[in-house]
Structure 1
């Protein structure tokens, strides 16, 4: 019986998917499938595919313009599978497809985890201040737990190259920006030069080999009963400096203010949500790691997020985004770059740029 959907599902051919998945996991899903885009993603595409009884989640790269080093489905599948059984909550994985002829791009299948991806203040306010604080500190504790996992213990010893990680990150995001520029962004060039100088000035021997999520934030977590039920969206995971995750999370928390309301990421404005100081202290306590100078990491975080949003803006201009909510994405790019310059004004001094 052919697969069905209530209408065309961009990027998901249910007939082809059904035939392939039955060969991989016989009997897991019935032949009569429906599919829909799961809302909330502005990067990789996430679908819920169901036979009416069982639902699985399918992840694939975005349509159209895709950077060569981004949206690596095999990478995402590998790290989620490796973390199963650790203290880091992740979905169960079922199958990976590297064959572009099935859906037009690699993809993988995982379980659907019950939980809420909190992004907006109005989502969190019904929890009340006490529960809101609990959820946010749970998020920090899970991050510290991820960074405490020894890569070799879970088969990820060769998952990345920690040596020279920050220097490669600066180069990578510079290249990513060059591949997605839609306009002149002089602050990006200034910030890149400042980060390059900051990396060059670092003393050798500071490279850590922790598992880095690469895009850790509240709405990349599924929360159930005030606990993190699953960490999702691992497309940028690697081995490297764990403080890049922490810095990016702090910048995400400030994004709505930085972008002057252009971003709907307002969860950190909910009453009870802990500030940067409390989050940093909780991370230190949960992971047993003393934090040093985060200014370089914060500058990189601003650049990275600006480049990600510029890439989404590029795809939207090309008509290659799926769903709604993309019209104002590009409005946050220049304010983020300006904030990155402000955060790195005294690069090299011991300051977090956020502890106040």
Structure 2
């Protein structure tokens, strides 16, 4: 992106002139003559808007796109700089390596400090965003899990990927442990979780450090926040995964544990989780993963249920507070606490 062009932090700054220059800097010589915008999605860290564009020369570009940009106060954007950098990196440098369904990216830019960014993404049209508070059906959860195999399998134990994005070590453990307990206290003060939810937070604080640095037999690129709010469902049940702000490397079942424990009702999870994990495992094998049994997959699923309370505690601190966001985090903790109590060794009594 040309250094003299300021990166917008408000949708009003996405003018035809700026968009034309932005597209040109990304190798797309289209001339935008008019733009209107409407908010879409329920993002907690950034704003997303559907742009309706008119061109003198469209250069093969569509009449609508989704623009994603950092729109919060400066301190909020500074706090979110790491996740903004992640998402731009995914679309710029990584997306083409993976078969997971995701939007096409037409243009991307980010500031050196990563406190400002803009992505122009494919508008998925008739697709409907999942609702984290309501949750999803078992069939939808299965479709997302199978789609996630297209993220995990291509980078399964890839030494180049792991060299580029190393697994966490002791410095990351020390940093996390230094802030986790205080952030857990902030969560309790803000949300007043019930006894099981509070026990899940206690369990998180006790176990997160050891879990973070435990040796892994298998690792891959993971989404890190795979839940139905971050999925678009098409009219024929097809899925598209969005919000690539929390990518990292780790045990791939972190994504599946987070998805099922937060996006299904407790009753649906108990009834269907083994079958969904089996479908996910079949998709891995079909995509070329070898030497990984279904029993290992299930053990990894149970062993990574901690992903849910971890993301809930950190995510609630990072997100701009909203009434919907508060209800969402409350529902997610309630569901994931039940999964931990059901499946983790000793449940929440240990």
What is the TM-score of this pair, normalised by structure 2?
A: 0.69
1:267-303 CA distance string (max 9 Å, x none): x79xxx9722321221222224422154452233123
In structure 2, the residue matched to 1:49 is: 51
Q: Secondary structure at the match of 2:68?
A: strand
* Conserved 8 A contact 1:306-1:336: no
The 1:196/1:91 distance shift into structure 2, 3 A limit, reads same
Structure 1 Cα separation of the partners of residues 135 and 301 of structure 2: 28
In structure 2, the residue matched to 1:73 is: 84
Structure 2 Cα separation of the partners of residues 150 and 182 of structure 1: 37
Say how many residue pairs are matched.
314
Q: CA deviation at 1:86?
A: 3.6
The 1:110/1:10 distance shift into structure 2, 3 A limit, reads same
Q: Secondary structure at the match of 2:276?
A: helix
In structure 2, the residue matched to 1:18 is: 19
Structure 1 Cα separation of the partners of residues 80 and 178 of structure 2: 9
* Conserved 8 A contact 1:284-1:291: no
Structure 1 Cα separation of the partners of residues 161 and 324 of structure 2: 38
In structure 1, the residue matched to 2:288 is: none
In structure 2, the residue matched to 1:58 is: 67
Counterparts of 1:298-337 in structure 2, within 5 Å, are 298-312=305-319, 315-316=320-321, 326-331=322-327, 333=329, 337=333
Q: CA deviation at 1:201?
A: 5.5
Counterparts of 1:146-185 in structure 2, within 5 Å, are 146-150=151-155, 156-164=161-169, 167=173, 171=177, 174=180, 177=183, 183=189
Structure 1 Cα separation of the partners of residues 46 and 31 of structure 2: 23
Residue 107 in structure 1 maps to residue 122 in structure 2: no
Q: CA deviation at 1:104?
A: 7.6
The answer for unaligned runs of 5 or more in structure 2 is 1-8, 55-61, 286-291
Counterparts of 1:71-150 in structure 2, within 5 Å, are 72-81=83-92, 82-84=94-96, 86-99=98-111, 105-120=116-131, 135-150=140-155
Deviates more, 1:199-208 or 1:19-28: 199-208
Deviates more, 1:79-88 or 1:158-167: 158-167
In structure 2, the residue matched to 1:264 is: none
* Conserved 8 A contact 2:80-2:318: no
The answer for unaligned runs of 5 or more in structure 1 is 1-8, 126-131, 259-267, 317-325
Moved over 6 A (4+): 151-155, 185-190
* Conserved 8 A contact 2:38-2:51: yes
Q: CA deviation at 1:209?
A: 2.7
Deviates more, 1:303-312 or 1:332-341: 332-341
Q: CA deviation at 1:227?
A: 5.0
The 1:293/1:139 distance shift into structure 2, 3 A limit, reads closer
1:282-339 CA distance string (max 9 Å, x none): 1222224422154452233123124424543xx33xxxxxxxxx32432454665566
In structure 2, the residue matched to 1:276 is: 273
* Conserved 8 A contact 2:221-2:250: yes
Structure 2 Cα separation of the partners of residues 169 and 285 of structure 1: 37
* Conserved 8 A contact 1:60-1:105: yes
The 1:114/1:159 distance shift into structure 2, 3 A limit, reads farther
Structure 2 Cα separation of the partners of residues 198 and 104 of structure 1: 32
Q: CA deviation at 1:116?
A: 1.5
The 1:178/1:22 distance shift into structure 2, 3 A limit, reads same
Q: CA deviation at 1:75?
A: 2.0
Q: Secondary structure at the match of 1:39?
A: coil
Structure 2 Cα separation of the partners of residues 226 and 173 of structure 1: 43
Q: CA deviation at 1:139?
A: 1.6
Structure 2 Cα separation of the partners of residues 229 and 148 of structure 1: 18
Structure 2 Cα separation of the partners of residues 110 and 235 of structure 1: 14
What is the TM-score of this pair, normalised by structure 1?
A: 0.68
In structure 2, the residue matched to 1:291 is: 298
